[in-house]
Amino acid sequence: MGDSGPSSAPRPSTSSLLGPPDYAGPILSDVVPAAAVGLGAGAIFDDTARARAESIGLDRETRTAIVVLIDGLGEQQLRQYSGYTPFFRSLAATRRTLSTGFPSTTANSLSSLATGRLPGAHGVVGYRVLDPSKDAVFNQLTWNLDVDPVAWVPDATLFERLSETGVDVVSLGESKFAGRGLNRASLRGGRFRASKTLEERCAQAVAEAKAPGRRLVYLYWGNLDKTGHVHGSNSAAWTEELEHVDLALSRLAGDLPSDATMIVTADHGMVDIDHELRLDLAEEPRLRAGVRHIGGEPRALHVYAESGAAADVGASWSEIIGRRALVLSRAEAIGRGYFGPVAEHVRERIGDFLVICQDEFAIVDSQNESASALALIGHHGSTTARELEIPLLAV
């Protein structure tokens, strides 16, 4: 098709391309409540939450619910590479598309999954965010600051609430995450079983499903995301890991007893960024003027301004970045609903400005980031469909 010229149609605005997630539709934070309803524990929710949970279609009564979260398994990637996934493809007729929250990043999404709350309520509003009491930005995955996890996410998690009803809750993951950091903040409650390989984790899930009693099993696998970051989500290495996940979950589904339900979802998708199209803060000193801290990640930054400098900072970032990203003040981001309703104690964790990147764009800082971080190809965090859309599959 030929180019009809610039006057043929108006270009969509950056704002319309990078709008907030659709929190009114089916979202990641509905998944564990839906599993709880299937387990007969729906009474822990109010009518609205229960109706939302029931609306995503996991209405089968079950004795054991296994919630599998595959880090980085975006819905659009799954469609694109469906030829590598015979098991997932066999479930296509009943597969649904959910939205993750903003930012589309692991710490935020796992917190939404395990608390049943939107980002503005649970407060894990990014990869790296400000602790206002310490005036320091910290990484919410590595938890590299002395922050009390329970005080950071003070409300009871879904795992805690389900445990109180008599449902046995079991989390399956790497031993280094047990009882610390984000797991202690947002995913606390129930038992933890450590393992290294996906096959070990699936075997643990089968054993839990065959044991007596009502049970929620949470199984996390992160290698697909790691592979996408290092090699890109369009790489042979990524599709090889996708095949591995598909085969392992196919075998898990085949080994489950008839009174178990397996639910598979994700925390975000991913986009691959050409390093030549990135902006390096080390090469643009004007973007540091008036800036106190920078948090977030390359696709979704939190910019914290010095006192009295917010207006100048916002103007500079908007002018220099232009249409490559959407620059919003904290008030604008909250007002447009990017985080859902925001609790008062969460507001100051959010940057004075949010920088939400378009498809081809990311912002790095070679002066402060490690060589391994700068080498990454796959990224997420923004609100493009490729990052926000995640699958929901049930067996």
pLDDT in tens, 206-250: 999 999 999 999 999 999 999 999 999 999 999 999 999 999 999
The 10s digit of each residue's pLDDT in 116-136 is 999 999 999 999 999 999 999
SS3 for 291? strand
Q: Residue 60: which pLDDT band, with cuts at 50, 70 and 90?
A: confident
The 10s digit of each residue's pLDDT in 165-194 is 999 999 999 998 888 999 999 999 999 999
Structural domain contains residue 296? yes
Per-residue pLDDT at 82 exceeds 70: yes
Q: Please tell me the predicted confidence (pLDDT) of residue 12.
A: 40
Range of the domain at 347: 275-379
SS3 for 326? strand
- pTM attached to this predicted model: 0.94
The candidate with the shortest Cα–Cα distance to 234, out of 363, 30, 378, is 378
The candidate with the shortest Cα–Cα distance to 245, out of 271, 268, 265, 261, is 265
Q: Please tell me the predicted confidence (pLDDT) of residue 274.
A: 97
Q: Please tell me the predicted confidence (pLDDT) of residue 10.
A: 35
Q: Give percent of the chain above pLDDT 90.
A: 90
Q: Please tell me the predicted confidence (pLDDT) of residue 56.
A: 86
- 331 and 199, same structural domain? no
Q: Output DSSP code: residue 101.
A: -
Check whether the bond before 103 is cis (ω within 30° of 0).
Answer: yes
Q: How far apart are the first and last CA of the chain?
A: 43
- 107 and 35, same structural domain? yes
Q: Give percent of the chain above pLDDT 70.
A: 95
Structural domain contains residue 20? no
The 10s digit of each residue's pLDDT in 298-313 is 999 999 999 999 999 9
Structural domain contains residue 35? yes
- 291 and 246, same structural domain? no
Structural domain contains residue 153? yes
- Give strand pairing partners of 97: 391
CATH code of the domain in which 303 resides: 3.30.1360.180
Residue 337 CB partners (closer than 8 Å, separation 6+): 20, 23
- 169 and 51, same structural domain? yes
Q: Please tell me the predicted confidence (pLDDT) of residue 281.
A: 97
- 248 and 102, same structural domain? yes
Structural domain contains residue 218? yes
- 207 and 109, same structural domain? yes
Q: Please tell me the predicted confidence (pLDDT) of residue 54.
A: 87
- 325 and 243, same structural domain? no
Q: Please tell me the predicted confidence (pLDDT) of residue 17.
A: 65
Long-range contacts of 54-62 (CB under 8 A, 24+ apart): 55/26, 55/30, 56/26, 56/30, 56/31, 56/96, 56/98, 56/392, 57/94, 57/96, 57/394, 58/31, 58/34, 58/261, 58/263, 58/394, 60/261, 60/394, 62/35, 62/38, 62/259, 62/260, 62/261
- What would the two tokens of residue 339 be? 């985080």
- 227 and 213, same structural domain? yes
Structural domain contains residue 135? no
- 310 and 185, same structural domain? no
**Are the beta carbons of 121 and 153 closer than 8 angstroms?**
no
Residue whose entry in the numeric block shows the structure tokens 């992160």 = 222
CA distance 10 to 140: 40
Q: Residue 55: which pLDDT band, with cuts at 50, 70 and 90?
A: confident
The candidate with the shortest Cα–Cα distance to 152, out of 103, 107, 100, is 107
Q: Please tell me the predicted confidence (pLDDT) of residue 311.
A: 95
- 370 and 296, same structural domain? yes
Structural domain contains residue 140? no
Structural domain contains residue 139? no
Count the domains in the chain.
Answer: 2
Q: Please tell me the predicted confidence (pLDDT) of residue 18.
A: 87
- 303 and 262, same structural domain? no
Q: Please tell me the predicted confidence (pLDDT) of residue 14.
A: 47
- Mean of the per-residue pLDDT values of the chain: 94
**Are the beta carbons of 298 and 363 closer than 8 angstroms?**
yes
Q: Residue 321: which pLDDT band, with cuts at 50, 70 and 90?
A: very high
CATH code of the domain in which 219 resides: 3.40.720.10
Q: Please tell me the predicted confidence (pLDDT) of residue 166.
A: 97
Across 214-235, b (16+ Cβ under 10 Å) vs e yields: bbbbbbbbbebbebbbebbbbb
- 243 and 343, same structural domain? no
CA distance 96 to 211: 30
